[in-house]
Amino acid sequence: MAKNKKAKKAQKKKRRDGHADAAEHVLDRLYLVIDSRKGADPDTSYTARLFSRGRQQIAKKLGEEAVEALIEGIRGDRPKLVGESADMLYHLLTLWAATGVKPKAVWGELARREGLSGIAEKAARKQK
């Protein structure tokens, strides 16, 4: 059993090259790639191009992708909704990286809310 715990712990560690181990969630891995593009050549990296245009442009692009996902959700086109959802998540992670928000902080907030009624959670926000 001790070996199993060590193996699981080792899986969670990052590799030497800074990339996440496959045991981490795809969004955590994507965030690391996105964050690594800061300062890269905007002519060779779409992500670097987004960073070079600034936080407002990244947020605008996220909004565009959210609207496209919304449209496909209303239309009921599942394959297109999947694609637009992936685009939206990518741009959300890019905005996080541009503002210094780490996925772990968002996962923690989601975990905090887990099991709470949405109505109760929103009411608690209004009281603050």
Residue 9 exposed, middle or buried by CB count within 10 Å (0-12, 13-18, 19+): exposed
Query: Would you say the C-alpha torsion 107, 32, 10, 23 has a positive or negative sign?
Result: positive
pLDDT of residue 6: 41
b (16+ CB within 10 A) / e for 102-115? ebeeeeeeeeeeee
Say which residue, 122 or 99, is predicted with more confidence.
Answer: 99
Domain boundaries, the chain: 22-100
In this predicted structure, the answer to whether residue 7 has a pLDDT above a threshold of 80 is: no
Q: Check if the beta carbon of residue 46 is closer than 8 Å to that of residue 112.
A: no
Q: Which residues in the chain belong to E strands, given as ranges?
A: none
The class that CATH gives domain 22-100 is: mainly alpha
pLDDT of residue 11: 42
Q: Which two tokens stand for residue 41?
A: 């050549």
pLDDT of residue 22: 52
pLDDT of residue 19: 52
pLDDT of residue 18: 52
Distance from C-alpha of 107 to C-alpha of 2, rounded to nearest angstrom: 28
In this predicted structure, the answer to whether residue 3 has a pLDDT above a threshold of 70 is: no
Per-residue pLDDT reduced to its tens digit, 49-108: 999 999 999 999 999 999 999 999 999 999 999 999 999 999 999 999 999 999 999 999
